[in-house]
Every structure is written in C-alpha cells, then in structure tokens.
Amino acid sequence: MSYPLTREQHLDLYYYMKLNRMLDEQLVRLFRQNVVVGGLYSNLGQEATSVGTAYALEKRDWIAPMIRNVGGLLVKGYKPRDILMQYMARVDSPTMGKDGTSHFGDIKVRHVVSPISMLGDLVPVMAGVAIGGRYLGQNIVAMTWVGDGATSTGAFHEGLNFAATQHAPLVLVVENNQWAYSTPVSKQVPIHDLADRAKAYGIASAIVDGNDVVAVYQTAKDAVDRCRRGEGPVLIESKTMRMKGHAQHDPAEYVPKEMFEYWEARDPIARYEKYLTENKIWDEKTKKELDARIDKELKEDLEFAEKSPLPPPELAEQGVYCDGCHTVEAVWKRSKAEVTPPKSSVKPEWEVADFGGFDLASTMAKQSAAAGANGGKDARTIASASQKNAAHKPQQRPNGGAAKSAQHPAGQKFKGQKANGRPEKSSDVPRVPFGRGPKGKEGRK
C-alpha cells in the first residue's frame, strides 16, 4: 500500500535526518575535546532508518530506542540539547547527569522507554507495552529497534515468540548494519535475510532499503497500520551500514575499504537531497533555509548545554528509590467493565481439534507451496516417508493383540470426542489435573 507524503512531510524527513547528522558530527567534536563523558556511538549512515520508522508512528505510540536511534528521539520531540547534555553528563540532561548516551526516556508525554544495555531485551519489554496498551484500550503501537547481532540473543527470540502468540501490536525493526561489533552477519547467521527470522513465529515481515528514507517510511507505515488493525506484530529488516566503528574508540579496521566506498555512494541524505530535487519538492532556497535553521538550533542548544553545570555531589543520593515522589497509574481509554468479569469471563478450557496429530493430507497441502520451484520434491519426500512408515505392520503383543497405533485412523471417534474433534461434555472426558492430586482410597493408610 502506498502512503503519499505531503511537501511538508517530505521536508520534515530531510530536517530530522540532517539534524541527526549534524548533531552526530557535533558530538564527535565534543568527544575529541574530552567533553563527552563515557563512550560515543555514531549513527552515521543510519539516519534514514531511525527517522523513517519513527515518523510512521503517531504521538500516542511508544518507542524504545537503541544507542544509534537518535533520529527517532528527535522525531519524538527531544531537542539536540537533551542529547548533548546527556552525553556531557550535565545536570539539566534528562537523567540529571546520572547516566550517559541515550539511556533516558519519558513515559508520560513522549512515550519513550529507556534503552537496555543488554541488546535484544527491549523486544519482550515492548511486547508487554503493546499488550498493556491494548488492554487499556489505548489503541497504540509499540516500536523498537535491534541490530543484526541482537537477533542471535535469547531475549530476541523469546520476546518475538511472546509477541507473536499474543498478537501484540509491535513493530520490530532489525537494523542490519552488517556488523555486530567486529563480526559480519555471514559469520553469525546462516541466512542472507534476517527477515526470515519472522517465519519461525508465523508473523509478517518486510525487507527495505534502509538508506532510502521514503521507502523506510512507507514500509513502516504499512507495518504500523497492520498492527493497529489488530493483525499482529511485524518484523522489518532494514538493510543499511554502520559507517563508523562500534564506538569512537573503534577504528573499524576490520571493515574492507571497498565496503565503506560501496555504502558511502548510497548515503541516505545525499540520496534524499537528489530525490527532493528531481521531484521538484524543493529548490535551492528552501534547502538553504532548512540548513540555516538546523545550524541555528544546534548552536543555540550547544551553548545551552555548555552553560549547564555538572551535577552537585548531593544529587547522587536523590532519586535512587521512589518514596512517593510520583504516581504510577494506568491511563484507561476504555471502560474497566470490558476487561473485568462477567464481560471478560471465559471458560478455562482449550480445544485442540486434531489433538496435535500428524495428518498426511494437510501436511502435504501446506508443503506444496514451499516445494514450489523444485517441482514438489519436498511434498513427495514427505509422502514417500509416510507411506513407508504405513507399510510396516503393527507389532504383535505377547497375547496376540495388535499394539495400539500412535496415530488414530481418519474419522475414528475417540471416547469423549465428537465427530468434529471437539470433546464431549460428559463425565467420561479425561481431565488433566493441576498437580498430582489426592490418592485414591486404596492408596490411603
């Protein structure tokens, strides 16, 4: 589906990407001046992914950024001064100088969850945020980003499986920036497209050119709309490139020079400037005005950040524990009666029509599409193996009776089961007890 952008929206995308780039360059200068406290993690070359995905969200939606998703923070309403002061550990920073990089958030107004240093752990967290918003009737979508390396973590898979089974309105953006620190993608996974990870969980996925901001926005907007319609989570793989090392201390000498040259020719901002010109969305005057606006904002915010003092020593003991300093309560957008008994009551029963058994016909039907171009080889292999198994005669018991088959003949009605496979409601239906239960009278002393 296509989502046309207005001229103002097109210029917004340029503004946020260019502001992101200029802020990144300013932070590099501050790092070299020894003003940045701690490490600095550049997002050079990845601006289109952060900005394009976050721009597809609405104000009510939630994000959980990583260290390279500064563009998403800018789209969500943070100012360059917030990021500058955060890296400089100033008292007026979002964490009052108590934390570094992008480890800050705002759950009241901007709906931003602070990053977690253990990569991949934000996936289950944001799945929970998405489910919580649905429960409260907020009709929100949650979004988070992970790198290619994080797709190899347990939290990524556990969180994605949880989101899939709960049909959570979660958009998970995998930034395939080619390197997990110094390990290339080909050395950590045996697949070319990380979007294939979604197949294991039965959810929708998409692959997008992560250096084309319009394509990123279109893909993300479609994913967000799918989630808001209740169609479950979506995984987006954005193919892009980390144009610096893991952090400023890493010269990235392990990256082939030709690889940097390849991606430099596909710089997202240069490509978008060309797009805006060719489609007559702007002219040279408009570009100069936008660039001048960005320069002015950055200078003002840098001056503000430099004037902000370092945190006083006595601040260290404040805010460690919450002792009535703020109220945490749910924001209900629906009647609580909808999610409380009797309206929310369901029978504590699960129905499994086929009892989890193997059915050759349905399995072959499902495999036929996957067989595709190889002429049905996969399906024939399954059929052949099943026919061989069926050819074996059942083992005979010592008393001459045939052993019970592990599979039930088609159409056979089990005790306590209707013809449609559902259990009959009678005292004969076997129950699975919670725990071992009490012993019978014959076992009592």
Number of folded domains in the chain?
2
358: CB partners within 8 A, 6+ apart: 407
Q: Catalytic one among 254, 293, 397, 422? A: 254
At 194 the pLDDT is: 97
Query: Is 431 in the active site?
Result: no
Q: Are residues 126 and 214 in the same domain?
A: yes
Tell me: the pLDDT tens digits for 390-400?
444 444 444 44
Tell me: the pLDDT tens digits for 159-211?
999 999 999 999 999 999 999 999 999 999 999 999 999 999 999 999 999 99
Q: Are residues 371 and 272 in the same domain?
A: no
**pLDDT > 80? residue 68:** yes
Mean pLDDT, the chain, as a whole number?
Answer: 85
Q: Catalytic one among 246, 266, 271, 380? A: 246
Q: Catalytic one among 81, 217, 242, 272? A: 242
Contacts 24+ apart (CB under 8 A), 411-417: 414/355
Q: Are residues 145 and 258 in the same domain?
A: yes
37: CB partners within 8 A, 6+ apart: 87, 88, 89, 100
- As a dihedral over the C-alpha atoms of residue 248, residue 252, residue 257, residue 258, rounded to 10 degrees, the angle is -100
At 371 the pLDDT is: 64
**pLDDT > 90? residue 360:** no
For 159, the 3-state DSSP assignment is helix
- Residue 402 CA to residue 410 CA, distance in Å, equals 18
Query: Is 242 in the active site?
Result: yes
Q: Are residues 372 and 306 in the same domain?
A: no
* Assigned domain for 401 exists: no
Kindly indicate the confidence band of residue 421, based on its pLDDT and cuts at 50, 70 and 90: very low
* Assigned domain for 108 exists: yes
* Assigned domain for 420 exists: no
Both tokens of 377, joined, read: 């080889």
- Residue 154 CA to residue 156 CA, distance in Å, equals 5
The count of residues in the chain is: 445
Both tokens of 204, joined, read: 């929708």
Residue 53: give the domain boundaries: 7-317
Structure-token match 């800018």, residue found:
74
Q: Mean of the pLDDT values across residues 41-67? A: 97
Query: Is 271 in the active site?
Result: no
Kindly indicate the confidence band of residue 369, based on its pLDDT and cuts at 50, 70 and 90: low
